[in-house]
Structures are given as structure tokens and as C-alpha cells.
């Protein structure tokens, strides 16, 4: 079996550029590296079912990340609005 070359730095960088935070990107890099190791050690290949499961997991993670992003944006909006109101009241 030929070796699989996996540039973890480049993968991590790509994830970070796509909006993943450091912790999320590191977790995905580790999971992907482990998956490659398991395939190499087991001498097998990922099945279509394996790929579908990974896609499902990634979709679930994307939905959670999106929800967290929207929540953070809402909190930030309220914080800015509160700050603006406080400044306006202070100036009056």
C-alpha cells in the first residue's frame, strides 16, 4: 500500500481561513490524521458508509458552529446597543 501524504499544517490553515477557531481546526486535524493512521494500519479503505458518516458528522458540526456564530453575533449586537445607549445617556 502506498503512503498517504497529509499536510496537517496546510489542512489546519485551510480550516482556520474558512472560519474555524483554533480548537475546532486542531480537533479536525487530529481526527483526520487518526483516520489516515487507522486506514494505513488496518490496510483497508474507507467505505461509502464511512464517508457518509463523516459527512453527516461534519454537517452536524457545521450547524452547531453556525448556531454558535449567530448567538455570538446577537450578543455582540446587544452589547454594542447597550454601550451606545449608555453613551447617549451619559452625554445628555
Per cent of the chain over pLDDT 70 is 91
Mean pLDDT of the chain: 88
The pTM of the whole model exceeds 0.85: no
The tens digit of pLDDT for each residue in 37-63 reads 887 776 567 788 889 989 999 999 999
What contacts 32, CB < 8 A, 6 or more positions away? 6, 8, 11
Amino acid at each position: 500500500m502506498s503512503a498517504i501524504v497529509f499536510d496537517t499544517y496546510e489542512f489546519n490553515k485551510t480550516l482556520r481561513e474558512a472560519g474555524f477557531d483554533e480548537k475546532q481546526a486542531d480537533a479536525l486535524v487530529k481526527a483526520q490524521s487518526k483516520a489516515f493512521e487507522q486506514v494505513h494500519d488496518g490496510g483497508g479503505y474507507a467505505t461509502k458508509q464511512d464517508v457518509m458518516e463523516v459527512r453527516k458528522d461534519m454537517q452536524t458540526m457545521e450547524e452547531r458552529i453556525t448556531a454558535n456564530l449567530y448567538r455570538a453575533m446577537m450578543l455582540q449586537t446587544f452589547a454594542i446597543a447597550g454601550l451606545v445607549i449608555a453613551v447617549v445617556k451619559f452625554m445628555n
